Amino acid sequence: MSSRHLILLLSGLEVLAILPIASFPALLTDFIAAWDLTKTEAGWIAGVYYLGYMLLVTPAVTLTDRFDARTVFVLGCAVTGISTLAFAVFADGFWSGFLLRAIGGAGQAAVYMPGLRALTDRLKGGEQSRAVTFYTASYSIAISLSFTVTGLLAERYGWRISFAVVGIACLVSAVAAWVALKPQPPQHANGRPLFALKPVLRNRDAMGYIIGYAAHGFELTAMRAWLTAFLVFVLARDAAVAASLPSPTVLAAIITLIGLPASLLGNELALKIGRRRALVLIMGISGLMGLVLGFTAGLPVWAVLVYSAVYYVFIGGDSGALTAGMLAAAEPAHRGSTMAVHSAFGFGISVLGPLCVGLALDQVEHAAGGQSIVTWGIGLAVMGLGALLGPVALLWTARKAAASPGV
């Protein structure tokens, strides 16, 4: 199989396997009403997906140092698919939704990074950087399709059928990966510990990208979880305009799809002006825009949609460059461990994004006596504050690494 076909295959399988990720956020306002959830409870169900991911990602990714990443990827797709089908059949409130989404997130721990490892293990040299960026950018396609497929199917057939369809897509991805990818065990799989944390923590260059990725994840998952609900609020303020537009779910899908070219362009900018410089610029602008997003609800609807789309360009513009930077900085003997820390820390912090925004919204709404532009402004500003930690970490670790070149 040519490298181009391999990249397209793994990216396509990634899209199918990740389809359930935004299913709950896409219908968040419906679940709040149907299950009588507080915004904090809704934030927990949206965020626990990433908690499940965090708890399993270290063993899942480090196993790719010992076993073929193809096998790990297939198992992850299967667990995600089965748990999503179970959600479609059994979920009926906070605790059942919480548990089944957590299991789905645990399955995803064996999908995204093991899939990336399965791709890079089958490529050589210069093919890897742009392949990594294309693969990570395909994540945006998966998110957009997750919003779109979930929303459209739910409108026509109900949310249970919608969840069942995306669960089946995961199982299709598992079968296709097992059939299409040739086995390829990792080189030098024996003779060393399966997981080595200390070498990763000592690698200050890699840790800068890892902390930056965590800040990116906090902002991204918060935006993904609350974008549809925010658009529901914005459109409710102008019913005439809302009637001429697609549903908030479809609008959210269109906005998130913009993340695909953003990630590719962000990586190309990093190749031209330097990875850290590009990331500090992109993440700095993104964080500042996040501080303002909620307050734009007072603007005309078209202005809110444009602002949200531009903001999502900057949110998505750093993902590929952060992951490519981590892989480039990783020691070859500890690549699996570095990828595991990258994912565990990044997605572990991602749990807090939807939850912190939900908590902020609940507290401000309680104090103000209901939803308003100010409550959404303060609640969503939490995203921007989290994102701004990324460029700070990149600059700090770069300075530390320069001061101790021998470490």
Neighbour tally for 221: CB within 10 Å: 29
pLDDT at residue 406 tops 50: no
pLDDT at residue 7 tops 60: yes
Indicate the residue type of 202.
R
Q: Within a domain: residue 72?
A: yes
- Summarised one tens digit per residue, pLDDT across range 43-56 is 899 888 888 888 88
Q: Within a domain: residue 184?
A: no
Longest CA–CA separation in the chain, Å: 67
Q: Within a domain: residue 186?
A: no
Q: Within a domain: residue 189?
A: no
Q: Within a domain: residue 185?
A: no
DSSP 8-state code for residue 284: H
Of 96-105, 134-143, 277-286, the range with the lowest mean pLDDT is: 134-143
189 against 58, higher pLDDT? 58
> In this predicted structure, what is the pLDDT of residue 62?
79
Q: Within a domain: residue 183?
A: no
Number of domains in the chain: 1
- Summarised one tens digit per residue, pLDDT across range 200-235 is 888 888 889 999 999 998 998 899 889 989 999 999
- Non-local (6+) Cβ contacts of 120 within 8 A are 128, 131, 132, 327
Of 125-129, 198-202, 274-278, 289-293, the range with the lowest mean pLDDT is: 125-129
> In this predicted structure, what is the pLDDT of residue 66?
78
Phi, psi of 227 (to 5 degrees): -60, -45
Q: State the average pLDDT for the chain.
A: 86
Q: Within a domain: residue 188?
A: no
Give the residue numbers spanning the domain of 370: 3-178+196-403
Average pLDDT over residues 242-251: 87
- 398 exposure class (CB count in 10 Å sphere: 0-12, 13-18, 19+): middle
> In this predicted structure, what is the pLDDT of residue 19?
93
pLDDT at residue 85 tops 70: yes
- CATH number, domain at 42? 1.20.1250.20
- SS3 category, 362: helix
Q: Which of 283-292, 352-361, 398-407 holds the top average pLDDT?
A: 283-292
DSSP 8-state code for residue 186: P
19 against 407, higher pLDDT? 19
> In this predicted structure, what is the pLDDT of residue 182?
87
Measured CA to CA, the distance from residue 57 to residue 317 in angstroms comes to: 24
> In this predicted structure, what is the pLDDT of residue 403?
55
Q: What confidence tier does 333 reach under pLDDT thresholds 50, 70, 90?
A: confident
Q: Per the confidence metrics, is the pTM higher than 0.85?
A: no
pLDDT at residue 239 tops 70: yes
Q: What confidence tier does 161 reach under pLDDT thresholds 50, 70, 90?
A: very high
